[in-house]
Amino acid sequence: MPALTYVATPHALQWQRITPVFCDVDPGTQNLDPREVEALITPRTTAIIGVHLWGRPCEVEQLTDLAARFGLKLLFDAAHAFACSAGGRFIGNFGVAETFSFNATKFLNTFEGGAVVTNDDALAHRIRLMSSLGFIEDDQVVSLGMNGKMNEVAAAMGLTGLESLEEFVSANRRNYYLYRSGLEGAPGLKLLAYDEAERSNYQYIVLEIEREVGIRRDAQCCRSRTPENTRSVASAGRRSKRPADQRTAHRAQGVACW
Ligand SMILES: Cc1ncc(COP(=O)(O)O)c(C=O)c1O
């Protein structure tokens, strides 16, 4: 998994007693670098997890080939990538499964919650059973489960969001272009670009702040009262021993684009 992500990604593995192996990201995209992934594969490797950081798709095709070549499962943390595409196909269609977050800071908001998305019917059935205490009928329990059901108020919030999806995209896109034109030519500041050939939710404005600006990324966050959560995505990367992650994590500041 990429060393530059939110703590939730490694925690998901550690709850299953799976050891996360952190992999360098490509500093240009801030996503998993497939060449680095290949170099880290050992006989103990069981799966690859890509993260579509900031809603920008990772190298889905290359990671799919790699997983097939080494007989590994492929999963994606798509917490940021609702309504985004990769190679013209909506995210949610790749790997064994992808997970979306509907936390209040995300593009689609149900206050808290999320979704596991898969094209594998058997897996979908298993996940549905798991999330409703194994109930297959009102009075029949067929497997071990937990209560992961969404409540009605949260669902209503999500449905309202779905109705306004295109409006949210255009407002975010407008803001992104406003920042882009305002920051054009500013020395030491680089805005991470969205690929106009793909569908994007434009939820994050990601700035890389170079040393010559004379203020460090964290000090800038305090000055602009940027909420802590805009920085914490990069926190795993800052503790990484891998050079590209550390560099990127210290420079990147993602601001949710509301
Ligand atoms: C990359 C990433 N993965 C996973 C999560 C966890 O999502 P949730 O808060 O819905 O559990 C987040 C939340 O911020 C995230 O940014």
The amino acid occupying position 201 is N
What is the structure's pLDDT at 217?
A: 63
Residue 57 contacts residue 86 (beta carbons within 8 Å): yes
Residue 191 CB contacts under 8 Å (≥ 6 apart), including other chains? 179, 180, 183, 205, 206, 207, 208
Low-confidence ranges of the chain (pLDDT < 70): 214-258
Is the separation of the CB atoms in 75 and 96 below 8 Å?
yes
**Separation in Å, CA 209 to CA 27, 189, 217:** 13, 5, 6
172-189 pLDDT per residue, tens: 999 999 999 999 999 989
According to the model, what pLDDT value does residue 91 have? 98
CA 148–ligand 1 middle distance (angstroms): 16
What is the reported pLDDT for 231?
Answer: 46
Taking the centre of ligand 1 as the mean of its atom positions, its distance from the CA of residue 250, in whole angstroms, is 20
Test site for ligand 1: of 103, 157, 255, most ligand atoms within 8 A of the Cβ? 103
- Per-residue pLDDT, 47: 98
Residue whose CA lies nearest to ligand 1 atom number 16 = 6
pLDDT in tens, 71-110: 999 999 999 999 999 999 999 999 999 999 999 999 999 9
Predicted TM-score (pTM) of this structure: 0.89
* 108 C-beta closer than 6 A to ligand 1: no
In terms of DSSP bridges, do strands 85-86 and 89-90 run parallel, antiparallel, or are they unpaired? antiparallel
Upper half-sphere CA count for residue 74 (Cβ side, 13 Å): 23
Atom of ligand 1 minimally distant from the CA of 102: 10
The reply to whether ligand 1 has any atom less than 6 angstroms from the CB of 79 is: yes
Residue 100 pLDDT: 98
- Ligand 1 atom 11: residue of nearest CA: 101
What is the set of domains in the chain, with CATH numbers? Answer: 8-163 (3.40.640.10), 165-256 (3.90.1150.10)
Residue (of 9, 12, 46) closest to 25 by Cα position: 9
